[in-house]
């Protein structure tokens, strides 16, 4: 029998600033205002987001690492930061052209973006702090 190897989780935290407007094209202006309130401001509003990217894997017996944290930082920079930092999510990120730029949808977008550049099976969780009190977690699950 093979010796079992531990699975270890590592998390890299990055921060970015972006603005958006919570507004659905599928709803009337009245419905949008009723559902999203002040977050439906036509001029948008901004956040200083904190995103936590967690990957998992076996500890390499030679390097002692699941993944080089510098490499993880580069993946996040390439797939996330260059796309969303200091951007208007609704106008500058094509993904949100027809998708409401809620933090929930932002978490899914970040997952999909990182899944394209990370080694297969390593991505474990995306956690976004929109504010100190509002946090969203996504683990790539679909129902």
Task: Return the active site residues.
Answer: 39, 86, 130
pLDDT tens digits, one per residue of 69-119: 999 999 999 999 999 999 999 999 999 999 999 999 999 999 999 999 999
Joined tokens for residue 42? 């036509």
- What pTM was computed for the model? 0.95
Q: Is 135 left (phi over 0), alpha (psi -120 to 50) or beta?
A: beta
Could you give the 3-state DSSP secondary structure of residue 73? helix
Pairing mode, strands 123-129 and 45-58: antiparallel
List, in order, residues 6 or more apart from 10 with CB less than 8 Å away. Answer: 54, 55, 56, 66, 67, 69, 72
DSSP character at residue 66: S
């Amino acid at each position: 029998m093979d010796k079992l190897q531990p699975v270890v989780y590592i998390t890299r935290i990055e921060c970015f600033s972006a603005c958006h407007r919570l507004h659905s094209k599928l709803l009337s202006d009245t419905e949008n205002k009723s559902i999203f309130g002040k977050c439906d401001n036509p001029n948008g509003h901004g956040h200083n987001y904190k995103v936590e990217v967690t990957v998992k894997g076996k500890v390499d017996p030679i390097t002692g690492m699941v993944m080089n944290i510098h490499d993880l930082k580069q993946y996040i920079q390439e797939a996330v930061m260059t796309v969303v930092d200091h951007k208007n999510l609704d106008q500058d990120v094509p993904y949100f052209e027809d998708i409401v730029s809620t933090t929930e949808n932002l978490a899914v977008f970040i997952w999909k973006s990182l899944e394209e550049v990370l080694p297969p099976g390593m991505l474990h969780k995306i956690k976004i702090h929109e504010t100190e009190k509002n946090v969203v977690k996504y683990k790539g699950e679909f129902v």
